[in-house]
Amino acid sequence: MTSSAPGDRRGAVVIEDDLDIRNLVCAVLEQGGFVVSSATTGREGVDVIRQQHPMVVTLDIGLPDIDGYEVLRRIRNTTDCYVIVLSGHSDEMDILTALQAGADDYVLKPFRPRELRARIDAMLRRPRIGQNAQHPPSRPAAPAAPAPTDDVPVKSANVLRNGGITVDGDARIASCAGVELPLTKTEFNLLYELMQGNGAVRTKEELVRVSRGGDYRGYNFVSRTDERAIEVHIANLRQKLARVDGGPELITTVRGVGFRVVPRATD
């Protein structure tokens, strides 16, 4: 088993019990420049992820021991890596359950290698930064700026605020009343997009494209399941906000259309 150096080369873990699919996914990731490890059972996959802190995980749902949902539950407390579920189930409920358990994206089997590659490329354009101090980002640090002191907030061109909610698009950190929110990459992207709207409605279709990183190179079809997936991501995001946010609901549903943030008075 290959061991990847966090912060140096990009690590990926493939959890898949089908040999042919495993080889295919490993090849796609290796072509993408990842150091790839694989596991054939759910428990082994959890162990490998905990040891290697990968940037990306591809996760089969049907595994011989614990299923992919259980793998997600076990890893989501300790890692914010990007998880793509590779599901043989075209049942919408299976996909939504995986997203509820913390997956970022899904690809249905059988899939074309090009499609998986497009999803990974979209993800890499928006690297997850600064959300987990234990696992430093692999991209080089920004040019040195004067060291900030603890009590003077650093002004950045890319910081959105709404009441006590702050979303820093450069550092990719979202916080509420000074408490950092433990968001997945997709949740962060959706919150950032809604905050940018500053009260304007974003349709579910728009948000699907946001969750895919904008450019999707030929995979721009938005299915009903994709839109339902957005509802699940938003529900997860609301739950995380509600744990620290004492204010009225930040994200409201515009029935039949999409979502918007409710502008708040600055404190």
Q: What residues make contact with Ca ion under the rule CB under 5 A?
A: 17, 60, 62
- Tell me the closest approach of the beta carbon of residue 107 to Ca ion, in angstroms: 14
Complex with Ca ion: residue 28 or 124, whichever CB lies closer: 28
Separation between Cα atoms, residue 229 and residue 235, nearest integer Å = 10
Question: How far apart are CB 224 and Ca ion at their closest, in Å?
Answer: 25
Position with the least CB separation from Ca ion: 62
Kindly state the smallest distance separating residue 63's Cβ from Ca ion, in Å: 6
42 vs 102 by CB, closer to Ca ion? 42
Nearest approach, Cβ of 29 to Ca ion (angstroms)?
Answer: 18
Nearest C-alpha neighbor of 187 from the set 214, 165, 210: 210
Residue with tokens 């991209």: 139
Q: Which is nearer to Ca ion, 84 or 167 (CB)?
A: 84
Stretch (H or E) spanning 253? strand 251-254
Supply φ then ψ for residue 5, to 5 degrees.
-90, 115
For residues 76 and 101, is the Cβ–Cβ distance under 8 A?
yes
Minimum separation from the CB atom of position 17 to Ca ion (A): 5
Q: CA-to-CA distance for 232 and 226, rounded, in angstroms?
A: 10
In the bound state with Ca ion, the residue whose beta carbon lies nearer, of 42 and 258, is: 42
Compare residues 22 and 204 and give the one whose CB is closer to Ca ion: 22
Nearer Cβ to Ca ion (59/165): 59
> Least Å distance between CB 25 and Ca ion?
12
Residues 262, 248: Cα–Cα separation, whole Å: 9
Range 126-129 contact pairs with CB under 8 angstroms and sequence separation of 24 or more: 126/172, 126/185, 126/189, 126/213, 127/55, 127/172, 128/55, 128/80, 128/81, 128/82, 128/172, 128/185, 128/188, 129/171, 129/172
